[in-house]
Structure 1
Amino acid sequence: MLTNCANHLHHFTEQTPHLSVTRIELFVIPALAVDSAGHRICLRLTSSLGFGWSELFASDTEEAVDLDRWSDLLQSFIGRIPLPPLSQYQYDKTEQDGRALDLFVTAVNHALAKSAESPPYSIDHEESVLRQRSVSYVSLD
């Protein structure tokens, strides 16, 4: 398990590429497929390069996601972070903290890829739809 990784992020130099993260949102949405018992957990990142997105599926047979714990962990990434994020850390992607960190890293990579393709766009409508479908919602900024 990875602990206190965000506390070490301030040790990068000014030459290290960075990203400014201004908001992290988590949406927990019931699975829509008839044969899928569980939830989609979606993470949307707002950054200096635009939006990043990631998601995972949590079946009803898995341990419940602790959104309070994930919020505490992810809150530490609001601000300036080095790129690539968490490259110097090993974490288990199957554990609770590892799953949250993997969602975050995937969203950062998505923001980087999207910024190379096109200018940022507004997705206020998408946020509204996600909030309406969510059974749980967390916004960190």
Structure 2
Amino acid sequence: MIIKCFRCDKEIDTPDEHNADYIVAPDTIAKELRETLIALKHNQATLAKEAQMKEVETYLDEDGITELTRPKYPDLAIADSEYDAIEIPNIEASKAIGEDLVKVIAEVKDKDIQKTGIICPKCYKPTDTVIWGVHKKK
């Protein structure tokens, strides 16, 4: 099987520990879109705002006799950006946050993903971590 060198595109015939290096290196990091779970939890400011949102006021109906209630601050709302955000590995981890948890949202964003690569011996750099190959320290 012929594989091209990750760095110079030289063809390597059946890469093994005698003619190539299988590496992890800074230049093998790739950006990929990944879904990240974000737990939104209350902080002092959102708790205070939530308390305000629960306040009601009493007023008289059109008949002037019947008392009704309505929210005191009907336009008040809490945006997701106002909560404290914590990245979590999975949905089960959100249970550890406890009663301060408001909700879990999923964001899709670029993440650095460490990749590996096959290189020819000439392309080896001292910063490479060799998994197997010509430059593997024994």
Higher strand proportion: 2
TM-score range, shorter chain: under 0.3
Q: Which has the higher helix share?
A: 1
| TM-score for the superposition, normalised by structure 1 | 0.20
Relative contact order: is structure 1 or structure 2 higher (C-alpha 8 Å, sep ≥ 6)? 2
